[in-house]
């Protein structure tokens, strides 16, 4: 079965420090990969998605970047964190290919980031 | 994506069926109905989805009305571990359509 791993689960970082959140998927090949952010009491905001190695699409301009160095690895980064980067960050995957139109998203357990 | 309306909260006795309604009166013909749930401090968990026909899997059943303007998620035998916020989402899937708009959902409390 497919599993998705995200780490760390919680992170407290000072303003101006760098960030690296990692996500890996097991049990599937060539997945679509996503980074979402969830603010307290609000819905999910899509930050980045990737349909293949090195292929990253950004949904909103921001202080963050994403990379996909391997097929099942997705990394969220920042060179200098802002207070507004605090939130709950979720990685997700879905099936890619001819059936992707009907494929649900499967989420990791998230990273709760607090920028102080 | 079409907007959805759900009750803010619901209670259900343990062992009974939980029926969670969702209105999506502006749904268009190519939009699917998806249900997710989120237990506090965890990522959303996919439950079920459908287009026109009723669907059933190991977790739940999804009943979609004939006009597709509303649906009901049914948890046949609710347990305490089903206490969570349940989100109903309608979305078009396809190239470039990866946005997933979660509303406020329904907070389901399963009571012993």
Summarize pLDDT for A51-61 with one digit per residue, the tens: 899 999 887 76
**Nearest by Cα to A11 from A110, A112, A87:** A112
Tens of pLDDT, residue by residue over A83-112, are: 999 999 999 998 876 555 567 889 999 999
Asked if B34 is an interface residue toward chain A (Cβ–Cβ < 8 A), one would say yes
**Is the peptide bond prior to A21 cis by the omega test (within 30 degrees of 0)?**
no
Residue A79 scores a pLDDT above 90: yes
Distance between B96 CA and the closest CA of chain A, angstroms: 9
Which one of A32, A101, A104 makes the best mutation probe of the B interface by having the most chain B beta carbons within 10 Å? Answer: A104
Which residue in chain B is spatially nearest to A105 when comparing CA positions? B46
Please, which pLDDT band fits residue B49 given cuts at 50, 70 and 90?
Answer: very high
Q: Give whole-number Cα distances, A55 to A50, B28, B88, in Å.
A: 5, 31, 30
B67, B6 contact by CB (below 8 A):
no
Q: Give whole-number Cα distances, B65 to A93, B21, B55, B77, B93, in Å.
A: 30, 11, 12, 22, 21
- Other beta carbons within 10 angstroms of residue A75's beta carbon come to 19
**Nearest by Cα to A21 from A31, A30, A11, A29:** A11
Residue A41 scores a pLDDT above 80: no
Q: What is the pLDDT of residue B99?
A: 64
Distance CA B22, CA B20 (A): 7
């Amino acid at each position: 079965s497919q599993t998705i791993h995200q780490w760390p689960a919680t992170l407290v970082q000072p303003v101006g420090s760098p960030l690296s959140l990692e996500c890996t998927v097991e049990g599937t090949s060539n997945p679509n990969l996503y980074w979402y952010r969830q603010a307290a009491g609000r819905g999910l905001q899509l930050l980045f998605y990737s349909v293949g190695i090195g292929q990253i699409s950004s949904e909103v301009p921001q202080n963050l970047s994403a990379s996909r160095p391997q097929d099942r690895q997705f990394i969220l980064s920042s060179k200098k964190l802002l207070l507004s980067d605090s939130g709950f960050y979720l990685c997700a995957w879905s099936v890619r290919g001819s059936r992707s139109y009907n494929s649900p998203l499967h989420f990791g357990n998230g990273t709760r980031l607090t920028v102080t | 994506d079409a907007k959805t309306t759900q009750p803010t909260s619901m209670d259900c006795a343990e062992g009974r069926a939980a029926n969670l309604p969702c209105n999506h009166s502006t749904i268009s013909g190519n939009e699917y109905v998806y249900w997710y749930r989120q237990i506090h401090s965890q990522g959303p968990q996919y439950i079920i989805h459908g287009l026109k026909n009723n669907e059933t899997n190991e977790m739940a059943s999804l009943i979609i009305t004939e006009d597709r303007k509303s649906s009901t998620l049914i948890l046949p035998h609710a347990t305490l571990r089903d206490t969570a916020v349940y989100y109903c989402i309608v979305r078009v899937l396809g190239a470039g359509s990866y946005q997933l708009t979660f509303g406020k959902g329904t907070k389901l409390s399963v009571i012993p």
